[in-house]
Amino acid sequence: MLVFLFLVFVIILLIATNVRVVPQASAYVIERLGGYHTTWSVGLKMKIPFLDRVAKKVNLKEQVVDFPPQPVITKDNVTMQIDTVVFFQITDPKLYAYGVDNPIMAIEKLTATTLRNIIGEMELDQTLTSREVINTSMRAALDVATDPWGIKVNRVELKNIIPPEAIRNAMEKQMKAERERREAVTIAEGEKKSSILVAEGKKESAILEAEAEKQAAILRAEAEKEKRIKEAEGQAEAIRVIQEANAIGIKYLKEAGADEAVLTIKSLEAFEKAANGQATKIIIPSELQGMAGLAKSFAEVMKEQ
């Protein structure tokens, strides 16, 4: 009985120690009798006791490695420090387990040598302005080199590019001079635009003043014209009223039996009143002139008597 219980206990212990649960985004490389047997993916797995063993646990997530600055020399013999960040992912656990002894160190060394090869073909200014080109070239080179190791390089980024101190000082002076130049250009452009705006303002002001003076002259002329028209209309109205009054007077004289001489005199008096002392010349019909002469003769005869 004790032997049976012992056997049951041993079996349970063996099962417990040989059952594995592979988590998400992981893979286990299994060896049997020292050689590669299989790769476990996600789920509940069990290995054969004393025959199988978990050779390597592989993380299938995308991983990030930040490598320290590496000294590189440009084409124009400038030494600078560049540190890189590599984003990679394990695609084949078997190749990753057996392809290279230390994959991370291998990627670091490969990154350094690839970076030196790429930077060595560029000058300093081109290096500082071609980050994207360098990143793309390094990713392509690393992806090809790490493919036999079951690693896919997704992205490579240059984190920092550190030129020598003398170069940095020269670059700062150049940037300062460029900023001062831009400032001077901006000030000159501002002054130019200001002068143009002032000149245009004066021009528009002169045009507006001339237009205002023109309109004022037109209004004064129209006002003077209307004034004269009203004065002429007033004089015409006065003449009409006087003529109507004289016509009424003559009508009454005719009704009273006055002779032609009296009528002529009254007509002349009407013309005198119509002139109102302002006319310099009065045109009198010939008939009235003859009657005026007769009236004058009649007046002289009356004085002699």
Query: CA-CA distance, 195 to 211, in Å (whole number)?
Result: 24
Query: What residue type is assigned to position 9 of the chain?
Result: F
Q: Quick one: pLDDT band at residue 142, thresholds 50, 70, 90? A: very high
* Percent helix, strand and coil across the chain, each to the nearest 5: 65, 20, 15
Give the global pTM.
Answer: 0.54
pLDDT of residue 11 exceeding 90, the answer is no
Tens-digit pLDDT profile for residues 224-270: 888 888 888 877 777 777 777 777 766 766 666 555 555 566 555 65
Strand-pair partners of 88: 63, 153
Tens-digit pLDDT profile for residues 194-234: 888 888 888 888 888 888 888 888 888 888 888 888 888 87
Query: CA-CA distance, 41 to 265, in Å (whole number)?
Result: 145
Note the pLDDT of residue 262.
Answer: 57
Note the pLDDT of residue 169.
Answer: 80
Looking only at Cα atoms, what is the longest distance across the chain?
198
Q: What is the residue whose two structure tokens read 């646990």?
A: 57
Q: Which CATH number fits domain 63-163: 3.40.50.1820, 3.30.479.30, 1.10.540.10, 1.10.1130.10?
A: 3.30.479.30
Note the pLDDT of residue 257.
Answer: 59
Domain range list for the chain: 2-59, 63-163, 232-304
Of the given ranges (143-157, 238-252, 280-294), which has the lowest mean pLDDT?
A: 280-294
